[in-house]
Structure 1
């Protein structure tokens, strides 16, 4: 398909307007407590055959673009995940992404075959594509729900890791390879691909961090590009040896996002912007794939039944089994069960059997599309209510500071920009009471429109921006001390590093998709 100049101009105009409208829609969807994916999917449907008449039926192209967008979203997820927050829940997250997926697929497949009358291949595919949670959908809703970090960490780790095994399983089932091999060999293939992906992700992450610390690039804008490219080096390397590219890109991003790299804040912001763009394009494209004329009462009925089976039976059972490795109170496990939002991932995964030409693949796509939309509307807005009813909300936890760093290469030091958040207990603390490590000092305070050099007795306020210079050797100690004061106030030294009962965190920022 070729474009002349006039068609290209029209494409740029329509694409820019759609993207701008999608960006503005984020505010509306976040106020309603709904993932923005619903708005984007609707935009795609309106632009498609049933609306403005833009035709798009290329399943192979949708498959390729969908996987690329998912890789970008996972990269952003890893770059903005604090390892200190995710580490305590990593066992549960990893269990949910592996054991939980296996349990969920089994429950939905058996129910889909015996209760819904689906052929075994379609039933297994239904279980496989619907079992993984979606990081973008989960965190675009949970950003307004103050939860304990162990819950957020588990959900974040699960959504970042569970794409990898399901992609392998869906590919094998779509290719008809499952019936040709025993179950233990299929399990071995999945584990092998996951391990290869993790290995390449670690290699790209640690190797890339070593390279970025020594590159001394001439402009700050090159660092985010380089870091994002490094995550895709992991993806490409793993895929080249038939490993899991999704596992590689997430692990590489997780390592890079938690390494001491220049301009980490700018890198995270860039990754978030690119991920938003990927989400917009992905969801609009998936909306274009849907033909509303194919949606019948039978399709809606199957979607509602499958979603009920997944949400009420498969998800709670998978959470309960997965929690054996890291037990939690029943209230938190119940919330984990209800918070397993599905988004782009299930719909993207259905493009694999579509591209393979599997009988019933179109019907599967329609069922999954309707199910994702309906159950996102049902579960998304109710999460804040569920957190309050189950008493898992912790409104006092988000109390931290934002720290941005830039290198000062000639003196082996870093310039830290610290923002005192509205909930920080650093408010009212004097500069001298910070008791920073030797060599670190507050060089400038920005308060409103005024800037001044602070004195020993200068009192800090909410909303202040501080510029600190710290030798690179004590930077981590400096950041740790700042966060301790932010949580414990001037008594942080006596209260200890966990003055509020909240583990220390490298990053005070949470993702907002």
Structure 2
């Protein structure tokens, strides 16, 4: 490649990236998911637009899988396990039993209405039945959705990709002829269970290593963290497990652990996830052929309608029965099951293996994603309000970042007091941090000083705490409690006060630390 050609390539790539970043603002104002704009960019760049020819389905599948891995890693990393834990069972059932019901119902309707062979019907039903993590994360995290509902839909979208990927891979391979239903189910079960175990074990080992490493630059921590997540992805693939499940579980485990420079890592992962989304959707748009899409429109309407209006609501209703989910919440969960990159990437699998009718399958899925995203995305905020899924936005949570001090057995924690936090107005002494910890420095209005015990914290203050390494979790729990409840945090029995400070309820209802007499900080303890 000549230097001039390289410059032209860089010019084109940077122009697409700038346009894609600008499109985020446009899509937010218009209430449309950004994936539609990115797909549109791909169509404009492709053979029917500027004329850049891209027809390598195998390359699209490979790059698409890596991009999905990055998106799922970031999605897991930014998911709070405390929020997702109460709904993990429901989300797991939706992601397995629910997807199975959707595949069976959609495939059956497609087989009857479109008069296709059983294999094609199953591929179409399976490809379309998976909700998309990238689309769900991008849309729901811009909306004030109640934590339990948002966690359910997000967890389902993260969990249901692996079983569908496994199913489509098996059905489009020689195993369709060699393995029976029991064999296919056995492969799915093994890959899911092994994927969970690999992701968790690799991430826990990574957490142990990062917590005891003082790297020379803070920018190395995000790189190391994501390397651990992709190590789980690679090991899962080598062992024949679900690599996608491995990296999602690894991201979830890493994101809920006490990592150094957590906020820096989160920002870095978010940026890479955006880059993965942009590249993924633009590439998939380039792979599509607008000249063929019109012929696929009736099929797309049949498959999408069968899934969205019949199969998805039925699967959600049946899976929700043991959990007594209210009907309104079932309606929201059903409608919030957005489609996006995952179905289109899955549709490249039949193309890459040369399955008969593979081009028609890809065109149908591509058009289905565009049409039903145009319908579901803009109407989701209205439905959230109508079903009571929406809530008033609450103040931002307190974000605590830490860095280990190698050789001292200590750590530095820093946080900023966000607007609306009840930690504003609390004196330093009233934080009642664990023994051995101290508020060392405070940055306020561009002035750095060492606060006294009576210094009152304000919104916008940047606070630096020095503490023994083993006190880190207790400090974060304590700061979170005070941020949500102010100096009366200790009166709430359900809030943690740290493992070093057991509490007991007194007869008059207040809480005091065992072994300590009353002092000026009792109200905050």
Q: 1:359 aligns with which of 356, 360, 363?
A: 356
> Is 2:73 the counterpart of 1:75?
yes
Alignment partner, residue 131 of structure 2: 133
Alignment partner, residue 503 of structure 1: none
TM-score under structure 2 normalisation?
Answer: 0.90
SS class of match (2:403): strand
Is residue 91–residue 325 contact of structure 1 (8 Å, CA) maintained in 2? Answer: no
> Is 2:489 the counterpart of 1:492?
yes
SS class of match (2:230): helix
Cα displacement (A) at 1:67: 0.7
Cα displacement (A) at 1:178: 2.7
Alignment partner, residue 106 of structure 1: 104
Cα displacement (A) at 1:134: 1.3
Is residue 336–residue 376 contact of structure 2 (8 Å, CA) maintained in 1? Answer: yes
Cα displacement (A) at 1:170: 0.4
Alignment partner, residue 507 of structure 1: none
Is residue 281–residue 341 contact of structure 2 (8 Å, CA) maintained in 1? Answer: yes
SS class of match (1:295): helix
Alignment partner, residue 206 of structure 1: 204
- CA distance in structure 2 between the aligned counterparts of 1:44 and 1:275, rounded to whole angstroms: 18
Alignment partner, residue 502 of structure 1: none
Cα displacement (A) at 1:390: 0.7
> Is 2:280 the counterpart of 1:282?
yes
Alignment partner, residue 238 of structure 1: 236
Alignment partner, residue 118 of structure 1: 116
Pick closer, same or farther for the CA change 1:498–1:45 going to 2, 3 Å: same
Cα displacement (A) at 1:112: 0.7
Alignment partner, residue 42 of structure 2: 44
Q: How does 1:455-494 map to 2 (within 5 A)?
A: 455-494=452-491
Cα displacement (A) at 1:175: 1.4
SS class of match (2:448): strand
Is residue 263–residue 399 contact of structure 2 (8 Å, CA) maintained in 1? Answer: no
- CA distance in structure 1 between the aligned counterparts of 2:103 and 2:270, rounded to whole angstroms: 31
Residues 238-285 of structure 1 show CA distances to partners (whole Å, capped at 9, x for unaligned) of 211221111111112222222222212211111111111111111100
Is residue 135–residue 160 contact of structure 1 (8 Å, CA) maintained in 2? Answer: yes
Cα displacement (A) at 1:462: 2.4
TM-score under structure 1 normalisation?
Answer: 0.92
Cα displacement (A) at 1:74: 1.2
SS class of match (1:429): coil
> Is 2:370 the counterpart of 1:373?
yes
Alignment partner, residue 159 of structure 2: 161
Is residue 350–residue 365 contact of structure 1 (8 Å, CA) maintained in 2? Answer: yes
Alignment partner, residue 511 of structure 2: none
Is residue 484–residue 497 contact of structure 1 (8 Å, CA) maintained in 2? Answer: no
- CA distance in structure 2 between the aligned counterparts of 1:79 and 1:241, rounded to whole angstroms: 23
- CA distance in structure 1 between the aligned counterparts of 2:172 and 2:135, rounded to whole angstroms: 26
Cα displacement (A) at 1:31: 2.8
Residues 325-375 of structure 1 show CA distances to partners (whole Å, capped at 9, x for unaligned) of 533222222211111011100000000001011111111111111111111
Alignment partner, residue 508 of structure 2: none
Alignment RMSD: 1.8
Alignment partner, residue 220 of structure 1: 218
- CA distance in structure 1 between the aligned counterparts of 2:217 and 2:396, rounded to whole angstroms: 33
Q: 1:151 aligns with which of 149, 153, 165?
A: 149
Which sits farther off after the overlay, 48-57 or 152-161?
Answer: 152-161
Deviant stretches of 4+, over 6 Å: none
Is residue 213–residue 404 contact of structure 2 (8 Å, CA) maintained in 1? Answer: no
- CA distance in structure 1 between the aligned counterparts of 2:487 and 2:50, rounded to whole angstroms: 61
Residues 295-339 of structure 1 show CA distances to partners (whole Å, capped at 9, x for unaligned) of 22x422221222121111111112122224533222222211111
Which sits farther off after the overlay, 244-253 or 117-126?
Answer: 117-126
Higher RCO (CA < 8 A, seq sep 6+): 1
- CA distance in structure 2 between the aligned counterparts of 1:498 and 1:137, rounded to whole angstroms: 34
SS class of match (1:411): coil
Which sits farther off after the overlay, 24-33 or 57-66?
Answer: 24-33
Pick closer, same or farther for the CA change 1:203–1:183 going to 2, 3 Å: same
- CA distance in structure 1 between the aligned counterparts of 2:272 and 2:142, rounded to whole angstroms: 22
- CA distance in structure 2 between the aligned counterparts of 1:151 and 1:267, rounded to whole angstroms: 26
Alignment partner, residue 66 of structure 1: 64
- CA distance in structure 1 between the aligned counterparts of 2:387 and 2:104, rounded to whole angstroms: 28
Alignment partner, residue 401 of structure 1: 398
SS class of match (1:418): strand
Residue segments in structure 1 that go unaligned for 5+ positions in a row: 500-513
Alignment partner, residue 423 of structure 1: 420
Q: How does 1:301-316 map to 2 (within 5 A)?
A: 301-316=298-313
Q: 2:89 aligns with which of 84, 88, 91?
A: 91
Q: 2:9 aligns with which of 8, 11, 17?
A: 11
Cα displacement (A) at 1:7: 1.8
Is residue 95–residue 325 contact of structure 1 (8 Å, CA) maintained in 2? Answer: no
Cα displacement (A) at 1:483: 0.9
SS class of match (1:415): strand
- CA distance in structure 2 between the aligned counterparts of 1:31 and 1:369, rounded to whole angstroms: 24
Cα displacement (A) at 1:179: 4.2
Cα displacement (A) at 1:403: 1.3
Alignment partner, residue 506 of structure 1: none
Pick closer, same or farther for the CA change 1:232–1:396 going to 2, 3 Å: closer
Which sits farther off after the overlay, 340-349 or 128-137?
Answer: 128-137
- CA distance in structure 2 between the aligned counterparts of 1:301 and 1:459, rounded to whole angstroms: 66
Is residue 20–residue 38 contact of structure 2 (8 Å, CA) maintained in 1? Answer: yes
Q: 1:261 aligns with which of 259, 262, 285?
A: 259
Cα displacement (A) at 1:398: 4.8
Is residue 75–residue 137 contact of structure 2 (8 Å, CA) maintained in 1? Answer: no
Cα displacement (A) at 1:452: 3.3
- CA distance in structure 2 between the aligned counterparts of 1:483 and 1:421, rounded to whole angstroms: 12
SS class of match (2:464): strand
